[in-house]
């Protein structure tokens, strides 16, 4: 999960992403940041995040992002 926190921290400083909730729904990061985050996650973890995962709930916490990555890797 440290890699995810590093990616998010690179997008926006001053946020404790380890405990942050509602990263997308509370607009902690904006739409450009979201696109960059998705691209960075895909590159870092060598995965492709399909449209079926493009829901706020999959990106609102570091734990949710981690769970999504693990689910994709198991496919």
Tokens matching residue 37: 């985050």
Please tell me the predicted confidence (pLDDT) of residue 41: 98
CA distances from 73 to 11, 53, 64, 70 (A): 24, 13, 14, 5
Q: What residues contact residue 69 under an 8 Å CB cut-off, 6+ apart? A: 4, 41, 45, 47
Please tell me the total count of domains within the chain: 1
CATH number for the domain harbouring residue 27:
1.10.1200.10
Domain that holds residue 37: 2-74
pTM score, two decimals? 0.94
Give residue-wise pLDDT tens across range 33-56: 999 999 999 999 999 999 999 999
């Amino acid at each position: 999960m440290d890699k995810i926190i590093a990616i998010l921290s690179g997008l926006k400083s001053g946020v404790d992403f380890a405990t942050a909730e509602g990263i997308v729904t509370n607009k902690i990061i904006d739409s450009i940041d979201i696109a960059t985050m998705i691209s960075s996650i895909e590159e870092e973890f060598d995965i492709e995040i399909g449209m079926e995962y493009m829901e706020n709930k999959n990106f609102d916490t570091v734990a949710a992002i981690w769970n999504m990555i693990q689910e994709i890797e198991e496919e």
